[in-house]
Amino acid sequence: MEPNLPRELIELIVEHLASDRREDCIQALLACSLADSGLRVTCQRHIFTEAQMRTIPFQKRNPPSDNASCYRKTALFVKALVGNPPLASYVRRLDYEVIIIPDTNDEDLAETLSAMKMMTQVVDLRLGNGHGWDGNIGEGQHPSRWKEAMRDFIRGSGLKYLSLRGITFPPNYLPTSLRTLDLEGSSLGFEGDRLKGGPRHRQIELETLWCNDIESLLYFDIYLEEGGQAIRLSKIKNLSLWAHWHVPERWARLLNQTESIQYLRITVHRRVDDSRAEGVPLEGFVQSPLEHVHQASYSTITHLKLDIHGSLVPDKPIIRPYTGVLNEGLTRLDALERLEVDMVLEGRYDLEPMHFNPGEWRSLPLVLQKYGVLPKLGWLSVRVETKLFDPRLRCHPEEPPLTDEEIAEIELEFLKKEAHAEMLVEVMAERTYPRADFQLLLDLRPELDLSFVTAVTLGNRVWHRIASELR
């Protein structure tokens, strides 16, 4: 029996259902679609707004058990679009996980490409899987129908957001509508010593660029170094990049070309091998990345986030915990409203407090105490987490597994390590947030909203200290 409620009211109810989390609303939308055939189109529009696909490998008759369900769902989804083309026009966000580039002779390829061609309204595309596979979609040595179709699909689309994971894609095929480019383990079609083909004289004005690892950053810089002009960087508002000690010219070039950044995220990631005598973890940059920001962006950056990941080497303290980023260069950011630091350090379970020498931790509060510095800053968040590990629990494949007696001995020792971790978080809280310095900062700037958190992780246990008592 169809409901007697006015059609407009029922459609409002459907809209309300669709506003819930997707995993929570799908079943309700399906039920509405079955309850009232007149609402089927409205429900389908919401059901098909987001879609997931996974490439079906040539050996699809015997797929891995954990992937079989995904393959079947992809096949059913493709058949649904081919059998009912209007459904394809509802798809706005597509997550296309590419396990393997489909073989040109695959009997299902034509149907898959036909479904892709129907999805003309996609504005948000995630492509690839980031597992280190050879996902080169450029015009290289191994052409295929699927690669050509994907280039044409992306170039002819109205994409606003494109996420590439483990994909090499020719930049001159990017759509001019693109505003967000999210790269991880990906490159912009650079092969050998030249940029790869595609239509010229197409310019994309990005607003957001995420270079989520060093590989993506390096290849993006190679693209710029070789004179790539398809992507215009001057209007970028949101930028995330990896800043590496050994290749400062790479990320510096990118920062120099962005004139109106509002959100800047800098990721500093370093692992130091215990056997390398040269290694002193987190000693910092010779010149802060902030020194390379385009001068115009000093008056536009409102949110700065610094992510730091590093190893703690036995008997060597942290020399410059903020890696030299938060120094005098910070004082140039006149428009800064939010400053966020998220630091993750890793070390052995027997890590001693000497690693947290309080000296250089004072650099941040000392900068902020200066008169007239960062006049618009209203929020400061600093989180320092230390992850402790026991190397004896990390068995190598060639080593025999631990015996029950060895495991029991380790569990007994673990109780002692827990006490050590609890002591360490107390010491760390005091040294990473020098109480006197930050208390003075609060006295000078009472309007500042502060959040200080220290954490120590050992196995599945986590100890936190929140420095709210400063207030």
Domain locations in the chain as residue ranges: 1-47, 49-470
Tokens for 394? Answer: 């990390």
pLDDT for 459 beyond 70: yes
pLDDT at site 23: 67
Please say if the pLDDT value at position 222 is more than 90. Answer: no
Going by pLDDT thresholds of 50, 70 and 90, the confidence category of residue 392 is low
pLDDT tens string 171-205 = 888 999 999 999 988 877 654 334 444 445 568 89
Q: With 90 as the cut, is the pLDDT of residue 432 above it?
A: no
Q: In whole angstroms, what is the distance from residue 418 CA to residue 344 CA?
A: 19
> Dihedral of CA 403/406/410/412: which sign?
positive
pLDDT at 350: 76
Say if pTM beats, i.e. exceeds, 0.75: yes
The stretch 329-351 carries a mean pLDDT of: 89
Tell me what the mean pLDDT of segment 386-412 comes to: 69
Each residue of 47-61: pLDDT tens digit? 888 998 987 554 555
Residue 80 and residue 135: Cα distance in Å, rounded?
27
Does residue 317 surpass a pLDDT of 90?
A: no
Radius of gyration of the chain (CA): 27
- CB environment 26-37: b (16+ within 10 A), e (fewer): bebbeebbeebe
> Which pLDDT score is estimated for 196?
47
Residue 195: its H or E element: strand 194-195
pLDDT of 67: 62
Q: Give the pLDDT of residue 391.
A: 64
Is residue 228 within 8 Å of 236, Cβ to Cβ? no
Q: What is the arithmetic mean of pLDDT over 335-361?
A: 83
Q: What pLDDT score was predicted for residue 304? A: 97
Q: How confident is the model at residue 154 (pLDDT cuts 50, 70, 90)?
A: very high
